[in-house]
C-alpha cells in the first residue's frame, strides 16, 4: 500500500470526493498519476460497487487514492402532516415531464461499516468523512491498516473535536464550497466562515495538518491557502467539467455556459444544506416543507432523473462552488498541468 504523507505529494492538490457519480476511476487515477490525490465520494455507493470501483482504479494508478463517506445520523419519517406537505411541494413543481414519487422505507442510507469493509479490502491511502465524525472504533480500525483518516470541519469546535478523536488531518471547508456543507449538526447556527478565515482560526487552535476546500480554481488560489498554512488544496468544482468526470451533459453545460448565474445554498434537494447553481427547483422549493436528510434526497431522485434525461437543468442539483465561472474546459491531465504551471509561476 502507498502510505500517505503530505510531504510525499508532488502537487498539493486533492481532487475532491463528490458523491453522485462525478468521480470515476479515470478521473481519480489521472489526478493521482499527476502527483495529487484522486478521490471517490462513496456515500450512496453499495459495498459491491465500492469494491469494483477501487479495484478498477488500482489497475490505473499506484498513486494516492481517497475514499470518502458521509456520516449519516439516525433519521425517521416525519409526521403524516409534514409528509403530505413535503410531497405536495415536490409534486407541484413546474417540471412538465411525469415522475413517480415514493416514500422510501428504512434503511434510509447504506450501513457505513459494510462500506468501510469493502473499502479496506482495497487499501486506499486515505479515507475521509463528511458531515460528522464516525465512531472511534472505525477510525482506529482504518488507521490500523496504515490508512490516514481526514474529517471535514466548518468551524473551530468541529476542528477541535476532530483532533480529539485522533484523526490524521482536517479538511477545512469554507462557505464558498460546492456540494454539501460539512457542518456536523445543521440545527446549530452556521457561522458561514470563509475559507481563509477558517484556515487561520483552525491553524491557531489545532495542531493537525489542514487541507483547504472551497472556491479554489487556480494555481494562485492554491498558493494563497498554502501560504496561510494549509498542506494541500481540495478542488471539486474545477474538476467537474473534465471529460473524465461523470458529470452529466446538462450540468457541464450550466457550469460552462450559465456563468451569469449565482450559486445558492439549499436543503431542498437532499434535506441538508448544499451549494449549487441557482435554478427553478431551488426557487420553487424556497420556504417549502421538506423531508429530513437523506430521505429528501431519495424523494427528489426520480424528478431529478427525469429532468436530466430531458437535458433540462432546471430541476437537477447543479452542485458548484461560488467560483464556478472560472471552470476550464480541459482534460484532467491538462488541468493538473495548468495548475502545476500556475503554482510554479507563483513561486
Ligand atoms: C458535485 C460535488 C459533490 C460533492 N460531494 C462531496 C462528497 O461526497 N463528500 C465530501 O466530503 N465533499 C463533497 N463535496 C465537497 C467537496 O469536498 C469540497 O468541499 C468542495 O468541492 C470545495 O469547493 P469547490 O467545489 O468550490 O472546489 C462535493 C462538492 C461538489 C462540487
pLDDT in tens, 298-338: 999 999 999 999 999 999 999 999 999 999 999 999 999 99
- Residue to probe by mutation, ligand 1, list 13, 68, 171, 179, most atoms within 8 Å of CB: 179
pLDDT for 346 equals 79
For residues 236 and 293, membership in a common domain is answered with: no
pLDDT in tens, 51-62: 999 999 999 999
For residues 85 and 68, membership in a common domain is answered with: no
Spell out a b/e string for 20-59, using b for 16 or more CB atoms within 10 Å of the CB, else e: bebbbbbbbbbbbbbbbbbbbbbbbbebeebbebbeebee
For residues 56 and 2, membership in a common domain is answered with: yes
pLDDT for 29 equals 98
pLDDT confidence of 347, banded at 50, 70, 90?
confident
- Residue to probe by mutation, ligand 1, list 13, 14, 16, most atoms within 8 Å of CB: 16
For residues 305 and 192, membership in a common domain is answered with: no
Number of domains in the chain: 2
Determine the Cα–Cα distance for residues 188 and 73; give it in Å rounded to an integer. Answer: 15
Could you tell me which residue, 98 or 216, shows the higher pLDDT? 216
Which of 4-8, 185-189, 231-235 is the least confident region?
Answer: 185-189
Beta strands in the chain (DSSP E): 13-15, 37-41, 64-70, 126-130, 148-153, 169-173, 179-180, 210-213, 232-235, 263-266, 274-277
Among 202, 195, 313, 205, residue whose Cα is nearest residue 256: 313
For residues 267 and 120, membership in a common domain is answered with: no
Share of the chain above pLDDT 70, in %: 100
Range of the domain at 94: 79-108+246-327
Q: Is the CB of 174 under 6 A from ligand 1?
A: no
Share of the chain above pLDDT 90, in %: 98
For residues 65 and 153, membership in a common domain is answered with: yes
For residues 171 and 251, membership in a common domain is answered with: no
For residues 212 and 277, membership in a common domain is answered with: no
Q: Is the CB of 37 under 6 A from ligand 1?
A: no
Distance, CA 120 to ligand 1 centroid (Å)?
Answer: 22
Q: Is the CB of 68 under 6 A from ligand 1?
A: yes
For residues 240 and 286, membership in a common domain is answered with: no
pLDDT for 203 equals 98
Distance, CA 48 to ligand 1 centroid (Å)?
Answer: 23
For residues 23 and 158, membership in a common domain is answered with: yes
Give the CATH number for residue 13: 3.20.20.70
pLDDT in tens, 143-152: 999 999 999 9
Quote the radius of gyration of the chain (alpha carbons, Å). 19
pTM of the predicted model, to two decimals? Answer: 0.98
For residues 129 and 141, membership in a common domain is answered with: yes
For residues 337 and 207, membership in a common domain is answered with: yes
Mean pLDDT of the chain: 97
Amino acid at each position: 500500500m502507498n502510505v500517505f504523507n503530505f510531504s510525499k505529494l508532488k502537487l498539493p492538490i486533492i481532487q475532491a470526493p463528490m458523491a453522485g457519480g462525478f468521480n470515476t476511476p479515470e478521473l481519480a487515477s489521472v489526478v493521482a498519476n499527476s502527483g495529487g490525490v484522486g478521490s471517490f465520494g462513496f456515500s450512496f455507493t453499495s459495498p459491491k460497487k465500492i469494491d469494483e470501483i477501487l479495484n478498477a482504479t488500482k489497475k490505473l494508478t499506484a498513486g494516492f487514492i481517497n475514499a470518502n463517506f458521509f456520516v449519516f445520523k439516525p433519521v425517521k419519517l416525519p409526521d403524516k402532516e409534514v409528509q403530505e406537505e413535503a410531497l405536495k411541494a415536490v409534486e407541484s413543481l413546474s417540471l412538465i415531464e411525469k415522475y413517480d414519487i415514493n416514500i422510501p422505507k428504512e434503511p434510509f442510507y447504506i450501513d457505513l461499516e459494510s462500506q468501510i469493509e469493502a473499502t479496506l479490502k482495497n487499501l486506499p491511502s486515505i479515507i475521509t468523512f463528511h458531515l460528522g465524525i464516525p465512531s472511534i472504533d472505525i477510525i482506529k480500525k482504518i488507521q490500523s491498516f496504515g490508512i490516514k483518516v481526514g474529517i471535514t470541519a466548518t468551524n473551530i469546535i468541529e476542528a477541535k473535536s476532530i483532533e480529539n478523536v485522533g484523526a490524521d488531518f482536517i479538511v477545512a471547508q469554507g462557505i464558498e464550497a460546492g456540494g454539501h456543507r460539512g457542518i456536523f449538526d445543521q440545527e446549530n447556527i452556521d457561522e458561514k466562515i470563509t475559507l481563509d478565515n477558517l484556515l487561520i482560526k483552525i491553524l491557531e487552535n489545532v495542531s493537525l495538518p489542514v487541507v483547504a476546500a472551497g472556491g479554489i480554481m487556480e494555481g494562485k488560489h492554491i498558493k494563497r491557502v498554502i501560504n496561510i498554512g494549509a498542506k494541500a488544496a481540495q478542488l471539486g468544482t474545477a474538476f467537474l467539467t473534465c471529460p473524465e468526470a461523470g458529470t452529466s451533459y446538462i450540468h457541464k453545460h450550466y457550469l460552462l455556459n450559465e456563468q451569469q448565474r449565482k450559486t445558492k445554498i439549499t436543503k431542498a434537494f437532499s434535506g441538508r444544506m448544499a451549494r449549487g447553481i441557482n435554478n427553478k427547483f431551488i426557487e420553487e422549493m424556497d420556504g417549502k416543507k421538506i423531508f429530513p436528510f437523506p430521505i429528501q434526497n431519495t424523494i427528489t431522485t426520480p424528478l431529478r432523473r427525469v429532468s436530466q434525461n430531458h437535458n433540462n437543468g432546471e430541476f437537477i442539483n447543479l452542485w458548484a462552488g461560488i467560483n464556478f465561472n472560472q471552470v476550464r474546459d480541459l482534460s484532467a491531465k491538462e488541468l493538473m498541468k495548468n495548475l502545476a504551471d500556475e503554482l510554479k509561476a507563483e513561486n
